[in-house]
Amino acid sequence: MSFEKALAELETIVGKLEAGELSLDESLEIFEKGVEMARFLRTELEKAEKKVEILLKDAEGKIQPKPLDLSEDKNPEKEKPEKDSPENDDLDNGNLPF
């Protein structure tokens, strides 16, 4: 089974359990299947992590970690509002801009 297929199946199981429309026996049955899917997914992620570590090793065999920065600061097109702008006043007062 592929990672993507297992993940989709786990999402389906979670949706069914959250809906609360199954009997106790049905819920337990699909919960057990969900646990199996979660274990499979965890194992696959661990395998992928090990492969990435191998690829990141330097010439001496030491892993050279590189930080993953997902912040929006890397997008030069989007400017942050200035400290004294009206947009920041709303945020400072706990109000969301939407």
**What is the tens place of the pLDDT at every residue in 80-93?**
555 555 555 555 55
CATH class of the structural domain 3-66: mainly alpha
What whole-number distance in Å separates Cα of residue 41 and Cα of residue 62? 27
Which H or E element spans position 58? Answer: none
pLDDT computed for residue 98 by the predictor: 43
What whole-number distance in Å separates Cα of residue 1 and Cα of residue 7? 10
pLDDT computed for residue 59 by the predictor: 65
Give per-residue pLDDT as tens, 8-22. Answer: 999 999 999 999 999
Would you give the end-to-end CA distance of the chain in angstroms? 42
Q: In the chain, which residues have pLDDT < 50? A: 98
pLDDT computed for residue 51 by the predictor: 86
pLDDT computed for residue 16 by the predictor: 94
What whole-number distance in Å separates Cα of residue 65 and Cα of residue 48? 15
pLDDT computed for residue 82 by the predictor: 54
Task: Please tell me the pTM assigned to this model.
Answer: 0.57
Q: Which tokens hold the place of 13? A: 């199981």
